[in-house]
Amino acid sequence: MPNRRTLLYAALALAAGFPLVQCGSDQAKDDAEMILIKQGQFLMGGKEEEVADHPQKNYLHILAERPVHTVKISAFYMDKYEVTNAQYHRFLADLEGNKDVNVNHPDQPSNISHEQDPAVGAELLGENQPTVGLNWFDAYAYCKWAGKRLPTEAEWEYAARGPDTYRTYPWGNEAPSAEGIWRANYEPKEGKDADRFRYSAPVGSYLDGASPFGLLDMAGNADEWVQDWHAGREYYAASEGAQDPQGPGGGKKKVQKGGSYYAELWQIRIGARHYGSPGIKNPYQGVRCAKDLK
C-alpha cells in the first residue's frame, strides 16, 4: 500500500505531465509502475570538468564518456524503480515452475542459471531492496519474462537527465547531500551509512533524487545493466545527432549505469559509464526495465 508521501509524489508527477503506468498482468508479470518517457533530444555523455580532480581522469573508462553529443530519443516506458528482490524472486519461482527457456538470450551459455550471486548476503535481500547479484543475461531474461526489455544506454541517460538541460545527477548539479538533504544511496566520504543506509536502500527512499521524468534511484543503490555493448570514445564521437542509438554491434563488456550503494561520488554521475562481462555476477549489479509504446 503506497504511503501518503508516495501518493503526493505521484500526483505531482502527473501534474508535471509525466504519466504513471501500472502494468497489470496482461502487460507485465511484475506489475511494476512505469513512467512514460516522452520523445525528445538531449546531451548524452559526461563533461571533463566533472572528473578534473580524479586520479584516473585519463583512463579509458572516463575518456569513453566523451564527447558530449546530441541524441534523439523516441517515446518509451521505463520502470519508475529498480527491480526489487520480491519481483526477481517471483521471476525465479515462475521459472522453476514452468522451466521456460524462451526468456533466455540466444547467446546465453548453457551453464548459467538465473540465481543471484551467492555472495549476496541477507543485508541486501530485503523484499523492497533492489535485486543485485545479477549478470547481464539475468537482467535480459527478467525483462523479457516481464514483457519488457532492457533500455539502451541512450534511453537510460535520457530518462535520468531529461530533455531540457544538462545535469550531472538526476536531480541537478548540486551534491547529493546539498543543504543536508540526501538524494542518493552510495558510499559518501562522510561514512558508508551517512546517507542513512549502510547497504542498498529500499527503492524509492530518496524522493529528492528524482529525475526530471520522476524516476527514482537512478544514482546509486544498484548498478543497472543496459542493452549496449561498451566501446571507447570513438562510438560517442560518431553518434552526434543519432536517433535512438542501439550501441556498438558487438564487444566483450556490457554497459552498466547509475552506480551502486558501493559507488564513489564520481561513479553516480549520469555520464559515468561502468561495464562488466555479461556472464559475471557481483553484489552490486541490478536492473531496471523499459517497454516500447504499443
Domains of the chain: 4-291 (3.90.1580.10)
What per-residue confidence (pLDDT) applies to 241?
A: 96
The string of pLDDT tens digits covering residues 126-174 is 999 999 999 999 999 999 999 999 999 999 999 999 998 999 999 999 9
Q: Hey, which residues does 44 pair with through a beta bridge?
A: 69
- The residue type of 266 is W
Whole-model pTM: value is 0.91
What Rg value do the Cα atoms of the chain yield, rounded? Answer: 18
Burial class of residue 86, CB neighbours in 10 A (0-12, 13-18, 19+): middle
pLDDT at 19: 55
Higher pLDDT, 4 or 173: 173
C-alpha dihedral, 57 to 248 to 267 to 224, nearest 10°: -170
Quickly list H helices, 103-193: 136-145, 153-161
Band of residue 247 on the pLDDT scale cut at 50, 70, 90: very high
Half-sphere exposure of 260 (CA within 13 A, CB side): 23
Q: What angle do CA 135, 88, 221 make, to 5 degrees?
A: 65
